[in-house]
Amino acid sequence: MRYYQIFIAITIGFIFGIVLTFNNYQTFSYSRIMLAYTRNSIEKVLVQIPTCTPDDGARQSALLHTLLQWSQFAQEHNIRYWIAYKTLLGYVQRDGLLPNALDFDILAMAQDTSRLVELRTLNFSSDYELKVHPQWFIVEKTRRSYFYEEGIDFVGPNARFVNRKDHVHINIWPMYDYHPNQTRIEKNSKPMLTECDRNYKWKSSPKEWTFPLQKCLLSGINVWCPAEPEKIGVHLYGQSFLIKSPIECINGTWKQSHEDISTIEMTTMTHTQTTTTRLSDEEFIEKVLKSVPTCESDDRDRQRYLLHGLQAWSQLAEKYNIQYWISYGTLVGFTQRGGLLPHDLDTDIMILFNDTRKLVEVSKLNFSSTYEIKVQPQWEIAEETKRSYFRKDGINFVAPNARFIHLKTRYHVDIFPAYDFNPIHANKSTEMKQSENLTIYDINYNWLSYPRSWTYPLKTCYFSEIKLLCPAEPKQLVATIYGVRSLTKSDRKCANGSWVRNP
């Protein structure tokens, strides 16, 4: 009898173990199957999203896969969030991704950011990471700082869920259960939630418009939505929120049908195009200049033209698909202060040597009545000491391969070459082979080779709030070319109304 009882107990335990294992396997397999199914669904959804620019399809795919990854991450770690701003606009108007969207926006209660701080250290993926602003607890965004060394190039959102492979992200904005500007709460007042609107003004709405959250589908992906998305949207954007946005593809560029092409979308503090204020080019630059100090009487005019020139170059490069990155003194300015060095006399960018041919082609076009491109006729000669001046053609330089010049003031962007072969030892047979290094001139016009990985992959950066392209490792390059001191200390200072050397 005793042996029989033991046999029964062992048998029951064995059966229970099989059931438990099968159940876990079912759950795991179901999760994997659903992941594959959703990814397959994304590809079907993408077919229905219109494209306009050459990179639209890849960006849209990257965004949706990033949202899928976030949805699963949030579910696994029980993160409470809901879609917001332009992402909510896309949901209401299109049930999905806006075709010209550059990122996603979600909201989370501000106090829940502490949970994100805990989760950011998890090694949950090789392609995705969670970046939390170190000063997320400071409510006023203007009092926060950038932490470029840690990859924190934003101050508006409390955090970002970043796709490192495809360079897209989800902004995670804070929602407060109190009004930051109010010192007391009225008795018997209706529960309210407060967030920033698109002009960075505090905007409160009834708590019942957000909670309870509801499940919804955005381009086929399970996400959380506020209880009353239409009411929140109209509250933030007006009645136009409910009307399908008149986004049109015009000459390979996304435009609003009512858009004045003399204006641009400018973002304050966030370095994204998610929440925008409409400013003309002139208004935008004037706003940026407020953060650039002056010393000499003509500083401001020079700074103004330099920034306008960079902005115009950025637009031209994007239009003609010219690959470049900021370099030399301009890269020093980005590393030291996130923008223009106040004493700089010009700005510097770099392109691969062979891409100079594209500049030759563009220079022949009537692309602007304000700017011109001058290409050194002997740009194929690597040694600048063997080049000549062509002053009658307006070529009063030999070192850069080209210049992007303001016709009236002659302020310019210097365009220097980077060689993916060693200009000294290369011959025609080896020039075609891509080197692991890039070679450029150092500040003394000696050849300097450095790892290609310090430049590539290029990344979007914001130089004095202007969207440009930066090398992958800007600090490594600055330290190598100018020395470690240049990472933090300028070589000029203001003394008695003049810029002087800063020993």
Q: What is the pLDDT of residues 312-341, one digit of tens each?
A: 999 999 999 999 999 999 999 999 998 999
What length is written for the chain? Answer: 503
Section 84-106 average pLDDT = 93
Q: Do 301 and 434 reside in the same domain of the chain?
A: yes
- Of 345, 410, 401, 344, give the one whose Cα is nearest residue 372: 410
pLDDT, position 63: 96
State both tokens at 77.
């770690």
Section 424-452 average pLDDT = 76
- Of 180, 232, 242, give the one whose Cα is nearest residue 207: 232
- Beta carbons of 497 and 354 less than 8 angstroms apart: no
Confidence band of 28 (pLDDT split at 50, 70, 90)? very low
Q: Do 379 and 488 reside in the same domain of the chain?
A: yes
DSSP letter for 191, please: P
Q: Of the residues 213, 229, 246, which one is the last residue of a structural domain?
A: 246
- pLDDT at 421 exceeding the cut of 50: yes
pLDDT, position 251: 81
Q: Do 226 and 307 reside in the same domain of the chain?
A: no
Q: Render pLDDT for 260-295 as a digit per residue (tens, 0 to 9).
A: 333 333 333 333 333 334 467 788 899 889 889 999
Alpha helices in 48-144 (DSSP H): 56-76, 85-94, 113-119
Section 191-201 average pLDDT = 85
pLDDT, position 427: 52
pLDDT, position 37: 46
Confidence band of 87 (pLDDT split at 50, 70, 90)? very high
497 within some domain: yes
**What CATH number does residue 374 fall under?**
3.30.460
23 within some domain: no
Q: Do 91 and 234 reside in the same domain of the chain?
A: yes
DSSP output for 400-438 = SSEEEEETTT--EEEEEEEBSS-TTT--HHHHTSPPSEE
Alpha helices in 213-327 (DSSP H): 229-237, 281-289, 299-319
140 within some domain: yes
Q: Do 212 and 349 reside in the same domain of the chain?
A: no
Q: Of the residues 225, 246, 267, which one is the last residue of a structural domain?
A: 246
Q: How far apart are CA 271 and CA 426, in angstroms?
A: 41
pLDDT, position 188: 53
415 within some domain: yes
252 within some domain: no
- pLDDT at 17 exceeding the cut of 60: no
Confidence band of 428 (pLDDT split at 50, 70, 90)? very low
pLDDT, position 426: 54
pLDDT, position 21: 44
Q: Do 242 and 301 reside in the same domain of the chain?
A: no
315 within some domain: yes
Instruction: Answer left, alpha or beta for residue 286, where phi above 0 means left and psi between -120 and 50 means alpha.
Output: alpha
Q: Render pLDDT for 110-123 as a digit per residue (tens, 0 to 9).
A: 999 999 999 998 88
Section 376-386 average pLDDT = 93
**Owning domain of residue 462:** 297-501
Residues with Cβ within 8 Å of residue 187, at least 6 apart in sequence = none
Q: Do 56 and 160 reside in the same domain of the chain?
A: yes
* Alpha-carbon distance values, 84 to 90, 106, 111, 129, 256 (Å): 10, 5, 18, 21, 21
Confidence band of 201 (pLDDT split at 50, 70, 90)? confident
Confidence band of 245 (pLDDT split at 50, 70, 90)? low
310 within some domain: yes
Q: Render pLDDT for 154-189 as a digit per residue (tens, 0 to 9).
A: 898 999 999 988 889 999 999 999 888 775 555 556
Section 89-106 average pLDDT = 92
pLDDT, position 166: 86
For the chain, how many structural domains are there in total?
2
The helix/strand/coil state of 331 is helix
DSSP letter for 176, please: B
Element spanning 279, H or E: strand 277-280
Alpha helices in 338-424 (DSSP H): 356-363
Alpha helices in 77-168 (DSSP H): 85-94, 113-119
Q: Do 400 and 482 reside in the same domain of the chain?
A: yes
Weakest mean pLDDT among 72-81, 156-165, 182-191, 226-235? 182-191
Residues with Cβ within 8 Å of residue 100, at least 6 apart in sequence = 52, 56, 247, 254
pLDDT, position 105: 97
Q: Do 348 and 426 reside in the same domain of the chain?
A: yes
216 within some domain: yes
Q: How far apart are CA 52 and CA 166, in angstroms?
A: 19
Q: Do 230 and 161 reside in the same domain of the chain?
A: yes
Q: Do 305 and 218 reside in the same domain of the chain?
A: no
Q: Do 350 and 238 reside in the same domain of the chain?
A: no
**Backbone phi and psi for residue 470, each to the nearest 5 degrees, phi listed first:** -120, 155
